C-alpha cells in the first residue's frame, strides 16, 4: 500500500488533489481511497487530504499517520505545522515552490532523504501560466507521477481532465505535464550528478 | 386496503358512538303563535299565507287566506290591521305591510277568477243567516263549506251591509265587494234581498231552519238634539252614506259640517268633498289624540283639504249658520264648556254620532237577553235561545268589518258543532312568539313598501280608490319581510349550526327532525333559530 | 459500473436508481453531499417523476416524507447528528404510522460540545424508535444497502435508516460498483403501499389509540422487526444473486472459525479491525471479527451463534450510553446470556477521535490476556480527564469543561505549563 | 363581503339556507347532501365551535373540489375528538401525524399528489391555534415560503384547549387560562404585542389569506371556495369559540363569534398576494364589553368594580382593527 498525504490551504484544491490521485489509480485498475482530514475549515485554513493506493481492497479507515509521500501545496505551511510527521527518510516529498530546499531552509532536515525522492515544483507559476489561476494541485500531481513512479502520467492527466472539464482540464493537464517533465529532468540530472 | 391495526380507521365509523346520551336538554320544534295571527280579529293565519306568498305561490297563499276570511280583497282595503300593530318586525324597521299583501292576493284572485274551495258533502241541515253584511257573509261561507244549506235574508236591496252602506267607494270599490260576495253566492249560498225578518222564530219555523245566525248591522243613526231653525238642513251620516248607493246622490251644499270624531265622520266629510263641497269641516268636541278615527284616515282627510275644529260642540243651527262653543279638557280629559262661542257658515250639518242596531226581530224570543242595545251571547256566540246565534254589530264588541268576519267564522264553527249535537272546542292557542323569542340578527334590513296613492286633485273630485295596490314584485318583497315569527320557514339554520350534524333535513316543505342519537343538547339550534321555532326542554329521567 | 466516487455520490446514485418520488433535503454535515447530488439529478431530470423539496428543518424534512409516503410516493431523506434529534418526534411517528421511508444517517456525534465528526451517537439515540437500522461497512455496501432498504421498508411497511459513517465513508473517494437501472428495477418493484390517502377510498390514518389497543400496536411494531430478521437475510441472498456481491444481511463474520477472541463492531470500523485482525493472525493470534449490519432488529440468535464458541468477545463501539457504558455490548451480552463468554466493551472514536490499528491491536492483545476492564475507553486521554476533574474539585465555578480541556491541550502542545499565562 | 347580497328579505343573507334561492346559490351547509366531512358521533364538547368550523370549511372544500380533499390534522382537540380508536368521524382521507408538523406533512402529500397524479385531489392542513401559531409555526412558514400547494386552516380558539386551557400566542390579553390565572395584580394574560398569523402569512406574499368566523357561514364558505380555486400556499384563520375554555354557554358559541366580529376584535378580511383586497364591514358595531361579558375567562374585568382601564385597552385594540382594516363604511 502506498499512502500519500497532501497539505495545503482551504481553496487550493487539496481534497480534489487526493481525489484525482485516487481516480488515476482506479484508472490503472488499482484500488484507491481518498479522503480529507475532516473539519469545518474555511478558505485559507490549513487542510490535509489523504490517498491510499494498493493492488487489493483497502479496508482500513484510519487517517494516514505514516505517509509514503507528502505533497505540500503551500510552502508557507512549512513552519506552521508538523508537515513531516510520520514520514520516513525513505519517503517522497514534493513541495510547491520556485525555491530550492536549501532556500526553503530544509537542507538539513532532508539530509537523510534520498535526493531522487524529494523535489520542489513551481506549481503555482505553472498554473498561472497554463490556467491563469493560482491553483497548484494539478501541476503537483504531474510532479507526483514523476517522483513517485506510482502512477502513469497519462492516467493522472485523464483524472485531471475528468475533474476539470473542457479547456480548463486541458490547461491543468498541460501544467501537470510541464511539472512532470521538469521533475523527470531534475531526477535525471540528480542521477547524473550522483 | 389492508389497514394497519388501530392507527387506521374506516371513514365515518364514529356513528357507532351515540353522543345523544350526553344531553340534559333536548331541542324540540315548536310552532309558536305569531303576534299578527294573535291580533287578527278574523283569526287569519297571516304568517301561514305570507309563507306561500313569499315563494310566489299566490294561489296557495290565497287558499290559506280564505280558509278564515272569504273577503280578502275587501279586508286588505278596509281592515285597520291590528296585525301590523302587533308585528315584531316593527322593532327592527317597520311592520310588514300585511294588508297590502292581503289586498294583492284578493285582487289577484278576482283577476284570475279563482273559486273558493268546494263545500263538503251535504249535511242535511239548514241555517238561516240574517243580514248580508261581513258577519253574515262570513258565517254563511263557513257553514256552506261545512256542507250545510244556508240562506241569507237581507232586509235591504243590496248585499254587503255596512261595507257597502258605511264605507265610501274611494276606500272600497264596489266591483271588488261585489266580486267577493258573488264568489260566496257561487258556493250555493242562497241570498234573499229585500227580505226583512220581522220575527226570527217565525222565520225559522217557516223556513224549517235548524239554526239561525243573526248578523244585523248597526244601520240606525244615533241622534242628538240640536235646536235648529226651520230652514236648517240636518242629516245623519248613515243616510248620507247609504244615499251614495242610490241613483240620486244626497244634496249637501257647498259648505258641509260633520259632527263627530269617528271614522264615519271622516268618511262623510271626504264624501262631501268629493260631491263638490268647497268646505268640509269636522267639528269634534275633543282633541286629535282622543279621536276614535284611525290616524291614517285623519291624515288622508287633511291631505284632501278637510278641516277639523277640535274641542268644539255645536249648540244650534240657524238657516246657514252654526253656533259652536269652544271646549277645554278638564283634569280627567273630559271636554268642558268654556262659554266662548263662534259662528260657522254651513249649508248642511251631518251628524255622525254613532249607530244602533234594529233588534225588533228578536221580540218575544224566549231566553234571549238584550242589554245596552246589543244581544248577549255566550262564549260560543249562542244567544240565550238554543240554536240562535248572533254576531257582528249585534253583540258587545268593537264594530269593524274584521271583527264581524271573525264573529261569522266563530259562530259558524259553533253552529256546526251544535247541529252535530256537540260543542266546538277551539284548539289551544300556542305560546306567543314574542320578539324576545327571535334571533333577529338573521333578518336583513328592509323597510316597508309604500303603496301608491292617488294624487290629491283626483281624490278631491272623484270616488276613485285613493290607495293603490302592490304589483306582484313588491307584494312578494313585502311578503318576504315577514319574520315568520314562531314558525319554521326552513332557513336551514338549525341544520347548519349543529356541531353534531344532529338535525335531519327532510326536504322542501317538510322541515326538519332532530336526531336524538347524536344531539348533545348544546342549544345552538334554538339560540340561532331566527324565528323562535325551537324550544329547549329538560330531559326527564 | 465501477466508479472511483465519493461515498455520498455513490449513495445518491443508488438512491436515484431506486426511483424515489419525493426527496426532502435539509443541510447538515456530513450528509449534505447526498442530497445536493440528488437535488442536481432531479433538476437535470436524471431522476424522473420526482419532487425535491428544500425544507426549513429536519423536523419538516421527515414530516414532508411522512406526508408523501402516506400519499403513496416513495420517499427519501437524509440527516445526521442534531438533525435526527430535531426530527426525533417524527422519527417515532413515521415508525408508528408504518410508513416505509428510507433515511440515510451520515453518522456524527451529538453535542454539546458541538462536534461535527463521526461517531454513532445520533442513530443510536433513535434505536428504539421502531425503525430498522442498517450499518454500512464500506461505501459499496452503503450504496447497496439503500437499494435493499427500499425493498425492505416497503415489504414490511416500516421505515429504514441506513447508517453510514460521516466523513469516513460519506466523504471518501472509493471504488464503488454502481448497478444498472435494469438491475435495480428487477430487484425493487413499484411501491405498493398498504395504506394510502386516496379520495376514492378514504381512511383516517393516525388515530388516537388508548390503553385498550396501544400496547398491541407497539407489539405489532416489534413483530415487524421480528419479521425483518427473516426478511433481511433473504433480501441479501437475492441481492447476491442479482448483483453478484455481498451486501447487508444481519451479521458477517471474518476469520472467526477457530477464533478465541472475536471482535464485534458496526460500520466502517470493521474495515480497520479486519486489517488489525489480519496482522494479528499473521503473528499467530486466533482472532476474528463479527460485523453487525442489522442493529435494529438486533439479531440475537445470529450473534449468539457467531460468538458462543469464542473464549472472549470485545465489542468496539462508537457510541456511549453515559452512566452505563456500551450500547451494542448490551445487545451482545443479551445474545450471549447464559453462556460463559466474557464480553468486553471498548468505547472508541467518539467525536471523530481516529481509531488506529495500533490502538486496536493493543486493545485486542490486552483482551487476549483477559487484562481488560469490562468497560474500556480506547485512547482516552486519562491525564487530561484527571486534570479537569481535579480542577473542578478545586473551584466551584470551574467553567465549561470543553473549553478548559482545549486550553489544556494547547498548553501541552506549546510546552508552556498550565497557569503560566 | 365576498358575495352579492341576496335580496330575499325574509331569510336575508345571514341564515344558513334560504328556501327561496335556487339550489346552487344556497350555502353548502344547507344542502341535504352536504358531505358532513366531520360526521356525527365525534366527542367534541357541547356547542364546540371548532367542530362546527371544521365541518363548515371541509364541506365547502369538498363541494368546491368535487369531493377531492385530503386533510392533514395537527394534534389538538379536533384530532382527539374526531379520531379516538376505534372510531373516526372523518369521511374524507385524513391523517394525523404530530402537533407541529401538519403544514409539512401536507406539503409532502401535495408533492406526492403532483408526482402521482392523485386524481386531482387537493390538500388541506388544519390545526388549532397552538398547532399553528406556536409549535407548528416553523413548518407553516416553510410551507408558505415554498408556496406548497396546500390550504392551511387554523381553527383559532385562543388557547390550548386539548390540554386543559393553557395560554397560546393566540390568547387575547387579559384572558384567564390555566397558565394565566385571574390572580395577582395583573390577572389574566399579559398585554403582549400580539402575533397576527394572517398578517404574517401575508408577509410571505402567498396567493391567498383570509380570516373567517363560524358566525358568518356564507363568508366562510365563499373564502374556502375561493381558496380551493387557487394554487399554491393559502391560509384561512377561522375564529371558533370554545365554551369550555372561554367559560361561555354552549348555545352562545355563534353569538359570541358574532360579537367578536361586530366589536372589531376579530376583523374579517381577505388578502391576495399579500395585499388586503376585501374586508367585512361591521353591520352592527358593538362595544367589546358586549363580547367580553359573555365569557367567564374575562369575568375578573367586571364584578363589583369593573376594570375599566383594561376594558378600555381591549376596546382600543378593537378600534385599531376598525381603523387599520377599514371595518366601518366611510
| Average confidence (pLDDT) over B475-501 | 93
pLDDT number for residue D3: 41
Chain C positions in Cβ-Cβ contact with residue B3 (cut-off 8 Å): 194-195, 203
CB contact under 8 A, C275 and A59: yes
pLDDT number for residue A191: 66
CA distance C236 to C230: 10
Q: Any idea where the domains of chain D sit in the sequence?
A: 23-325
Q: How many CB atoms lie within 10 A of CB A44?
A: 11
Q: Is the dihedral of CA D276, D282, D285, D291 positive or negative?
A: negative
Indicate whether C223 pLDDT > 70: yes
pLDDT number for residue C289: 98
Q: What are the phi and psi torsion angles at C291 (to 5°)?
A: -105, 125
| Average confidence (pLDDT) over C109-117 | 94
Pick the most confident of B96-105, B224-233, B293-302, C387-396.
B96-105
Chain A positions in Cβ-Cβ contact with residue C263 (cut-off 8 Å): none
CA distance D264 to D46: 26
Which cell numbers in the block locate residue D110?
A: 401535495
pLDDT number for residue C358: 96
Cis, peptide link before residue C30, omega less than 30° from 0: yes
Q: Which residues of B21-57 are buried (b: 16+ CB within 10 A; e: fewer)?
A: eebebbbebbebbbbbbbbbbbbbbbbbbbbbbbbee
pLDDT number for residue B6: 85
pLDDT number for residue C412: 62
Indicate whether B442 pLDDT > 80: yes
Return mean pLDDT, chain B. 92
Q: Is residue B432 part of a domain?
A: no
| Average confidence (pLDDT) over B348-375 | 91
CB contact under 8 A, D111 and C200: no
Q: What is the pLDDT of residues B37-72, one digit of tens each?
A: 999 999 999 999 999 998 889 999 999 999 999 999
Query: CB-based contact (8 Å) between D78 and chain C?
Result: no
Indicate whether B350 pLDDT > 80: yes
Q: Is residue B436 part of a domain?
A: no
Q: How many CB atoms lie within 10 A of CB A128?
A: 16
Residue of A nearest to C357 (CA): A62
CA distance A170 to A176: 10
CA distance D302 to D288: 13
Q: What is the pLDDT of residues C338-378, one digit of tens each?
A: 999 999 999 999 999 999 999 999 999 999 999 999 999 99
Name the strands in the sheet holding C294-296, side by side, starting at the edge strand that comes first in the sequence: C51-54, C22-25, C75-79, C102-107, C160-165, C132-135, C294-296
Q: Please name each of the domains of chain A with its CATH number.
A: 2-193 (3.40.920.10)
Confidence band, pLDDT 50/70/90 cuts, at residue C54: very high
Confidence band, pLDDT 50/70/90 cuts, at residue B265: very high
Measured CA to CA in angstroms, residue C17 lies from C44, C164, C208 at distances of: 15, 18, 37
> Nearest by CB to C210, which of D84, D116, D145?
D84
CA distance D85 to C275: 55
Which cell numbers in the block locate residue A52?
A: 491510499
Residue of B nearest to C206 (CA): B7
DSSP3 helix / strand / coil % (chain A, rounded to 5):
45, 20, 40
Q: What is the pLDDT of residues B303-316, one digit of tens each?
A: 999 999 999 999 99
Contact predicate D153/D125, CB 8 Å: yes
Q: Is the dihedral of CA D73, D78, D80, D84 positive or negative?
A: negative
Return mean pLDDT, chain C. 95
| Average confidence (pLDDT) over C279-297 | 98
| Average confidence (pLDDT) over B84-94 | 93
Helix (H) / strand (E) element for B264: namely: helix B263-274
CA distance B443 to B531: 10
Q: How many CB atoms lie within 10 A of CB C283?
A: 10
Indicate whether C336 pLDDT > 60: yes
- Taking alpha carbons only, the member of C140, C134, C131 closest to residue C65 is C131
Judged by average pLDDT, the poorest of C244-248, C402-406, D197-201, D224-228 is C402-406
pLDDT number for residue D2: 40
User: B360 with B318, same domain?
Assistant: no
User: B326 with B367, same domain?
Assistant: no
Contact predicate B12/D89, CB 8 Å: yes
Q: What is the pLDDT of residues C259-272, one digit of tens each?
A: 999 999 999 999 99
Q: What is the pLDDT of residues C73-89, one digit of tens each?
A: 999 999 999 999 999 99
Indicate whether C420 pLDDT > 50: no
Indicate whether B1 pLDDT > 70: no
Please report, rounded to a whole number, the percentage of residues in chain B having pLDDT higher than 70: 99
Give chain C's radius of gyration (CA, Å): 22
Confidence band, pLDDT 50/70/90 cuts, at residue C56: very high
What CATH number does the domain containing B147 carry? 3.50.50.60
Which cell numbers in the block locate residue B57?
A: 305561490
CA distance B360 to C41: 114
CB contact under 8 A, C355 and A31: no
Query: CB-based contact (8 Å) between C117 and chain A?
Result: yes
Q: Is residue B69 part of a domain?
A: yes
pLDDT number for residue A194: 52
User: B95 with B149, same domain?
Assistant: no
CB contact under 8 A, C68 and D79: no
Q: Which residues contact D166 (CB under 8 A, 6 or more apart)?
A: D159, D160, D177, D178, D179
Model pTM score: 0.91
| Average confidence (pLDDT) over B174-190 | 96
User: B307 with B343, same domain?
Assistant: yes
> Nearest by CB to A61, which of C6, C175, C271?
C271
| Average confidence (pLDDT) over D180-203 | 95
Chain C positions in Cβ-Cβ contact with residue D121 (cut-off 8 Å): 197, 199
Chain A positions in Cβ-Cβ contact with residue C362 (cut-off 8 Å): none
Q: What are the phi and psi torsion angles at A10 (to 5°)?
A: -55, 130
Distance from CA of D44 to the nearest CA of C (A): 14
Query: CB-based contact (8 Å) between C275 and chain A?
Result: yes
> Which residue has 380555486 as its cell numbers?
D229
Residue of B nearest to D23 (CA): B508
Q: Is residue B5 part of a domain?
A: no
Q: Domain of B61?
A: 38-115+446-479
Q: Is the dihedral of CA B457, B459, B460, B464 positive or negative?
A: positive
Confidence band, pLDDT 50/70/90 cuts, at residue D173: very high
Indicate whether B200 pLDDT > 90: yes
Distance from CA of C167 to the nearest CA of B (A): 38
| Average confidence (pLDDT) over C378-383 | 96
Give the N- to C-terminal CA distance of chain B in Å, as an integer: 45
Measured CA to CA in angstroms, residue C166 lies from B42, C60, C78, C355 at distances of: 95, 22, 12, 14
Q: Is residue B3 part of a domain?
A: no
pLDDT number for residue B540: 84
pLDDT number for residue D1: 40
Please report, rounded to a whole number, the percentage of residues in chain D having pLDDT higher than 70: 96
Q: What is the pLDDT of residues D110-158, one digit of tens each?
A: 999 999 988 899 999 999 999 999 999 999 999 999 999 999 999 999 9
Q: For chain C, what is the HEC assignment? A: CEEEEEHHHHHHHHHHHCCCCEEEECCCCCCHHHHHHHHHHHHCCCCCCCEEEECCCHHHHHHHHHHHHHCCCCEEEEECCHHHHHCHHHHHHHHHCCCCCEEEEEECCCCCCCCCCCCCHHHHHCCCCCCEEEECCCHHHHHHHHHHHHHHHHHHCCCEEEEEECCCCCCCEEEEECCCHHHHHHHCCCCCCCCCCCCCCCCEECCECCCCCHHHHHHHHHHHHHHHHHHHHHHHHHHHHHHCCCCCCCEEEECCCCCCEEEEECCCHHHHHHHHHHHHHHCCCCEEEEEECEEECCCHHHHHHHHCCCCEEEEEECCCECCCECCHHHHHHHHCCCCCCCEEEEECCHHHCCCCHHHHHHHHHHHHCCCCCCEEECCCCHHHHHHHHHHHHHCCCCCCHHHHHHHHHHHHHHCCCCCCC
User: B348 with B260, same domain?
Assistant: yes
Indicate whether C397 pLDDT > 90: no
Distance from CA of D49 to the nearest CA of B (A): 7
> Nearest by CB to B522, which of D5, D13, D46?
D46
Residue of C nearest to B11 (CA): C203
pLDDT number for residue C414: 53
CB contact under 8 A, C205 and B8: yes
Measure the CA angle with vertex B261, ends B258 and B266; round to 5°.
Answer: 60
Chain A positions in Cβ-Cβ contact with residue C4 (cut-off 8 Å): 22-23, 25-27, 32
> Nearest by CB to B11, which of C204, C206, C220?
C204
Q: Which ranges of chain A have pLDDT less than 50?
A: none
Domains identified in chain B, total number: 4
pLDDT number for residue C421: 37
Which cell numbers in the block locate residue D197?
A: 398569523
CB contact under 8 A, B497 and D86: no
pLDDT number for residue B249: 83
Q: Is residue B472 part of a domain?
A: yes
pLDDT number for residue A121: 95
3-class SS of residue A136: coil
CB contact under 8 A, A36 and C354: no
Indicate whether B297 pLDDT > 90: no
CB contact under 8 A, D10 and B18: no
CA distance B456 to B274: 11
Q: What is the pLDDT of residues D277-302, one digit of tens each?
A: 999 999 999 999 999 999 999 999 99
Confidence band, pLDDT 50/70/90 cuts, at residue C418: very low
CB contact under 8 A, D51 and B499: yes
Q: Is residue B149 part of a domain?
A: yes
pLDDT number for residue D321: 97
- Taking alpha carbons only, the member of C352, C349, C354 closest to residue C320 is C349
Question: Most distant CA pair in chain B: distance in Å?
Answer: 114
> Which residue has 220575527 as its cell numbers?
B199
Distance from CA of A44 to the nearest CA of C (A): 20
> Nearest by CB to B6, which of C157, C201, C217?
C217
Q: Is residue B439 part of a domain?
A: no
Indicate whether D329 pLDDT > 60: yes
Distance from CA of D230 to the nearest CA of B (A): 26
Give the B-side interface with C, CB within 8 Å: 1-11
Q: Which residues contact B401 (CB under 8 A, 6 or more apart)?
A: B71, B74, B75, B78, B79, B134, B162, B163, B167
pLDDT number for residue D5: 38
Q: Which CATH class is domain D23-325?
A: alpha beta
pLDDT number for residue B471: 86
Query: CB-based contact (8 Å) between D67 and chain C?
Result: yes
Amino acid at each position: 500500500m502506498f499512502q500519500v498525504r497532501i497539505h495545503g490551504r482551504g481553496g487550493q484544491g487539496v481534497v480534489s488533489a487526493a481525489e484525482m490521485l485516487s481516480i488515476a489509480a482506479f484508472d490503472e485498475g488499482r484500488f484507491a481511497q481518498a479522503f480529507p482530514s475532516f473539519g469545518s475549515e474555511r478558505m485559507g485554513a490549513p487542510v490535509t487530504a489523504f490517498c491510499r493506493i494498493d493492488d487489493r481492497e483497502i479496508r482500513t479507515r484510519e487517517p494516514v499517520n505514516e505517509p509514503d509521500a507528502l505533497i505540500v501545496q503551500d510552502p508557507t505551511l512549512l513552519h506552521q505545522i508538523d508537515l513531516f510527521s510520520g514520514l520516513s527518510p525513505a519517503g517522497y516529498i514534493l513541495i510547491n515552490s520556485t525555491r530550492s530546499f536549501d532556500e526553503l531552509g530544509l537542507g538539513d532536515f532532508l539530509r537523510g532523504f534520498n535526493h531522487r525522492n524529494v523535489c520542489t515544483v513551481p506549481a503555482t507559476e505553472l498554473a498561472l501560466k497554463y490556467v491563469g489561476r493560482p491553483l497548484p494541485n494539478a501541476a503537483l500531481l504531474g510532479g507526483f507521477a514523476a517522483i513517485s513512479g506510482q502512477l502513469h502520467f497519462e492516467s493522472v492527466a485523464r483524472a485531471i481532465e475528468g475533474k476539470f472539464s473542457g479547456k480548463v482540464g486541458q490547461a491543468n493537464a498541460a501544467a501537470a505535464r510541464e511539472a512532470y517533465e521538469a521533475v523527470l529532468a531534475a531526477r535525471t540530472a540528480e542521477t547524473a550528478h550522483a | 386496503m389492508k389497514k394497519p391495526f388501530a392507527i387506521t380507521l374506516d371513514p365515518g365509523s364514529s356513528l357507532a358512538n351515540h353522543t345523544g346520551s350526553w344531553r340534559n336538554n333536548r331541542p324540540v320544534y315548536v310552532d309558536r303563535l305569531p303576534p299578527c295571527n294573535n291580533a287578527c280579529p278574523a283569526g287569519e293565519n297571516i304568517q301561514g299565507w305570507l309563507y306561500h306568498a313569499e315563494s310566489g305561490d299566490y294561489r296557495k297563499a290565497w287558499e290559506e287566506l280564505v280558509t278564515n276570511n272569504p273577503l280578502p280583497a275587501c279586508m286588505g282595503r278596509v281592515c285597520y290591521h291590528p296585525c301590523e300593530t302587533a308585528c315584531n318586525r316593527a322593532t327592527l324597521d317597520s311592520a310588514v305591510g300585511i294588508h297590502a299583501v292581503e289586498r294583492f292576493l284578493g285582487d289577484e284572485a278576482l283577476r284570475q277568477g279563482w273559486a273558493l274551495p268546494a263545500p263538503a258533502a251535504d249535511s242535511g241541515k239548514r241555517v238561516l243567516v240574517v243580514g248580508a253584511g261581513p258577519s253574515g257573509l262570513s258565517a254563511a261561507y263557513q257553514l256552506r263549506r261545512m256542507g250545510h244549506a244556508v240562506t241569507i235574508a237581507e232586509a235591504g236591496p243590496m248585499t254587503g251591509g255596512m261595507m257597502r252602506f258605511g264605507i265610501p267607494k274611494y276606500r272600497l270599490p264596489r266591483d271588488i265587494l261585489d266580486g267577493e260576495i258573488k264568489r260566496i253566492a257561487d258556493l250555493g249560498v242562497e241570498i234573499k234581498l229585500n227580505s226583512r225578518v220581522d220575527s226570527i222564530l217565525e222565520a225559522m219555523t217557516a223556513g224549517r231552519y235548524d239554526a239561525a245566525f243573526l248578523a244585523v248591522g248597526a244601520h240606525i243613526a244615533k241622534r242628538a238634539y240640536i235646536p235648529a231653525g226651520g230652514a236648517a238642513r240636518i242629516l245623519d251620516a248613515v243616510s248620507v252614506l247609504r244615499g251614495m248607493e242610490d241613483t240620486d246622490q244626497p244634496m249637501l251644499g257647498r259648505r258641509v259640517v260633520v259632527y263627530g270624531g269617528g271614522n264615519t265622520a271622516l268618511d262623510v266629510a271626504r264624501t262631501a268633498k268629493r260631491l263638490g263641497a268647497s268646505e268640509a269641516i269636522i267639528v269634534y268636541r275633543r282633541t286629535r289624540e282622543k279621536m276614535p278615527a284611525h290616524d291614517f284616515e285623519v291624515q288622508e282627510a287633511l291631505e284632501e283639504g278637510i278641516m277639523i275644529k277640535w274641542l268644539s260642540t255645536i249648540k244650534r243651527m240657524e238657516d246657514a249658520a252654526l253656533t259652536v262653543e269652544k271646549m277645554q279638557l278638564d283634569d280627567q280629559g273630559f271636554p268642558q264648556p268654556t262659554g266662548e262661542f263662534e259662528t260657522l257658515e254651513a249649508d248642511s250639518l251631518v251628524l255622525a254620532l254613532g249607530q244602533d242596531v234594529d233588534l225588533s226581530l228578536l221580540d218575544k224570543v224566549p231566553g234571549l237577553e238584550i242589554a245596552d242595545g246589543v244581544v248577549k251571547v255566550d262564549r260560543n256566540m249562542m244567544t240565550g235561545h238554543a240554536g240562535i246565534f248572533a254576531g257582528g254589530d249585534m253583540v258587545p264588541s268593537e264594530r269593524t268589518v274584521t271583527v264581524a268576519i271573525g264573529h261569522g267564522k266563530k259562530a259558524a264553527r259553533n253552529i256546526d258543532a251544535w247541529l252535530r249535537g256537540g260543542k266546538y272546542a277551539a284548539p289551544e292557542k300556542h305560546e306567543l312568539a314574542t320578539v324576545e323569542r327571535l334571533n333577529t340578527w338573521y333578518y336583513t334590513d328592509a323597510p316597508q313598501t309604500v303603496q301608491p296613492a292617488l294624487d290629491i286633485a283626483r281624490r278631491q273630485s272623484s270616488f276613485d280608490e285613493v290607495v293603490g295596490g302592490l304589483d306582484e314584485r313588491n307584494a312578494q318583497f313585502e311578503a318576504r319581510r315577514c319574520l315568520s315569527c314562531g314558525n319554521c320557514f326552513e332557513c336551514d339554520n338549525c341544520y347548519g349550526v349543529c356541531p353534531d350534524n344532529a338535525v335531519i333535513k327532510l326536504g322542501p316543505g317538510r322541515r326538519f327532525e332532530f336526531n336524538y342519537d347524536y344531539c348533545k343538547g348544546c342549544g345552538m339550534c334554538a339560540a340561532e333559530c331566527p324565528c323562535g321555532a325551537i324550544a329547549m326542554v329538560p330531559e326527564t329521567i | 459500473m465501477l466508479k472511483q466516487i465519493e461515498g455520498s455520490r455513490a449513495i445518491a446514485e443508488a438512491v436515484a436508481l431506486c426511483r424515489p418520488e419525493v426527496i426532502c433535503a435539509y443541510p447538515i454535515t456530513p450528509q449534505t453531499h447526498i442530497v445536493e447530488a440528488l437535488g442536481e439529478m432531479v433538476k437535470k431530470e436524471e431522476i424522473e417523476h420526482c419532487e425535491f423539496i428544500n425544507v426549513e428543518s429536519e423536523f419538516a424534512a421527515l414530516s414532508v416524507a411522512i406526508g408523501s409516503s402516506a400519499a403513496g410516493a416513495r420517499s427519501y431523506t437524509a440527516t445526521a447528528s442534531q438533525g435526527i434529534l430535531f426530527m426525533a418526534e417524527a422519527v417515532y411517528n413515521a415508525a408508528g404510522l408504518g410508513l416505509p421511508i428510507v433515511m440515510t444517517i451520515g453518522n456524527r456525534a451529538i453535542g454539546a460540545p458541538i462536534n461535527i465528526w463521526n461517531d454513532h451517537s445520533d442513530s443510536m439515540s433513535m434505536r428504539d424508535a421502531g425503525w430498522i437500522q442498517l450499518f454500512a461497512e464500506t461505501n459499496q455496501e452503503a450504496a447497496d444497502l439503500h437499494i435493499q432498504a427500499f425493498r425492505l421498508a416497503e415489504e414490511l411497511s416500516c421505515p429504514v435508516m441506513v447508517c453510514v459513517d460521516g466523513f469516513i465513508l460519506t466523504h471518501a473517494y472509493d471504488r464503488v460498483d454502481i448497478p444498472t437501472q435494469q438491475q435495480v428495477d428487477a430487484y425493487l418493484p413499484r411501491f405498493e403501499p398498504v395504506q394510502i390517502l386516496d379520495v376514492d377510498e378514504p381512511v383516517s390514518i393516525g388515530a388516537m389509540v388508548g390503553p385498550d389497543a396501544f400496547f398491541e400496536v407497539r407489539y405489532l411494531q416489534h413483530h415487524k422487526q421480528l419479521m425483518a430478521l427473516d426478511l433481511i437475510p433473504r433480501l441479501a441472498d437475492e441481492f447476491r444473486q442479482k448483483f453478484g456481491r455481498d451486501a447487508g444481511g444481519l451479521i458477517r463474520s471474518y476469520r472467526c472459525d477457530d477464533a478465541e477472541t472475536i471482535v464485534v463492531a458496526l460500520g466502517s470500523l470493521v474495515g480497520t479491525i479486519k486489517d488489525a485482525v489480519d496482522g494479528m493472525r499473521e503473528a499467530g493470534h486466533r482472532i476474528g471479527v463479527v460485523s453487525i449490519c442489522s442493529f435494529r432488529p438486533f439479531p440475537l440468535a445470529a450473534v449468539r451463534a457467531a460468538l458462543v464458541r469464542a473464549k472472549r468477545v470485545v465489542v468496539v463501539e462508537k457510541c456511549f450510553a453515559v452512566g452505563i457504558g456500551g450500547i451494542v455490548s448490551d445487545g451482545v451480552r443479551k445474545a450471549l446470556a447464559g453462556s460463559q463468554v466474557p464480553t468486553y466493551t471498548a468505547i472508541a472514536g467518539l467525536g471523530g477521535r481516529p481509531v488506529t490499528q495500533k490502538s486496536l491491536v493493543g486493545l485486542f492483545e490486552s483482551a487476549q490476556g483477559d487484562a481488560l476492564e469490562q468497560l474500556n475507553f480506547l485512547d482516552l486521554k486519562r491525564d487530561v480527564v484527571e486534570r479537569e476533574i481535579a480542577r473542578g474539585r478545586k473551584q466551584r465555578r470551574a467553567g465549561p469543561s470543553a473549553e478548559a480541556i482545549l486550553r489544556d491541550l494547547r498548553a501541552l502542545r506549546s510546552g508552556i505549563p498550565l497557569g503560566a499565562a | 363581503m365576498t358575495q352579492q347580497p341576496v335580496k330575499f328579505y325574509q331569510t336575508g343573507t345571514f341564515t344558513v339556507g334560504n328556501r327561496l334561492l335556487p339550489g346552487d346559490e344556497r350555502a353548502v351547509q344547507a344542502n341535504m347532501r352536504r358531505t358532513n366531512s366531520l360526521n356525527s358521533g365525534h366527542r367534541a364538547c357541547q356547542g364546540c365551535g371548532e367542530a362546527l368550523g371544521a365541518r363548515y370549511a371541509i364541506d365547502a372544500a369538498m363541494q368546491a373540489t368535487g369531493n377531492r380533499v385530503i386533510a392533514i390534522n395537527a394534534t389538538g382537540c379536533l384530532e382527539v375528538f374526531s379520531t379516538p380508536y376505534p372510531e373516526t368521524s372523518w369521511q374524507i382521507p385524513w391523517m394525523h401525524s404530530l402537533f407541529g408538523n401538519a403544514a409539512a406533512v401536507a406539503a409532502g402529500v401535495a408533492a406526492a399528489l403532483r408526482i402521482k397524479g392523485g386524481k386531482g385531489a387537493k390538500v388541506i392542513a388544519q390545526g388549532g391555534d397552538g398547532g399553528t401559531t406556536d409549535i407548528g409555526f416553523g413548518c407553516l412558514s416553510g410551507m408558505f415560503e415554498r408556496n406548497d400547494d396546500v390550504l392551511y386552516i387554523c381553527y383559532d380558539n385562543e388557547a390550548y384547549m386539548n390540554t386543559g386551557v393553557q395560554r397560546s400566542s393566540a390568547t387575547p390579553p387579559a384572558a384567564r387560562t390555566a397558565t394565566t390565572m385571574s390572580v395577582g395584580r395583573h390577572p389574566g394574560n399579559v398585554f403582549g404585542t400580539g402575533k397576527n398569523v394572517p398578517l404574517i402569512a401575508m408577509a410571505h406574499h402567498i396567493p391567498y389569506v383570509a380570516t373567517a368566523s363560524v358566525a358568518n357561514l356564507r363568508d366562510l364558505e365563499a373564502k374556502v371556495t375561493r381558496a380551493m380555486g387557487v394554487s399554491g400556499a393559502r391560509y384561512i384563520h377561522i375564529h371558533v369559540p370554545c365554551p369550555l375554555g372561554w367559560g361561555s354557554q354552549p348555545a352562545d358559541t355563534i353569538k359570541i363569534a358574532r360579537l367578536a366580529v361586530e366589536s372589531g376584535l376579530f376583523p374579517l378580511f381577505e388578502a391576495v398576494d399579500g395585499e388586503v383586497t376585501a374586508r367585512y364591514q361591521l353591520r352592527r358595531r358593538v362595544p367589546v364589553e358586549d363580547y367580553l361579558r359573555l365569557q367567564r375567562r374575562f369575568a375578573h374585568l367586571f364584578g363589583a368594580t369593573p376594570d375599566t382601564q383594561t376594558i378600555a385597552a381591549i376596546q382600543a385594540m378593537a378600534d385599531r382593527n376598525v381603523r387599520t382594516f377599514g371595518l366601518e363604511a366611510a
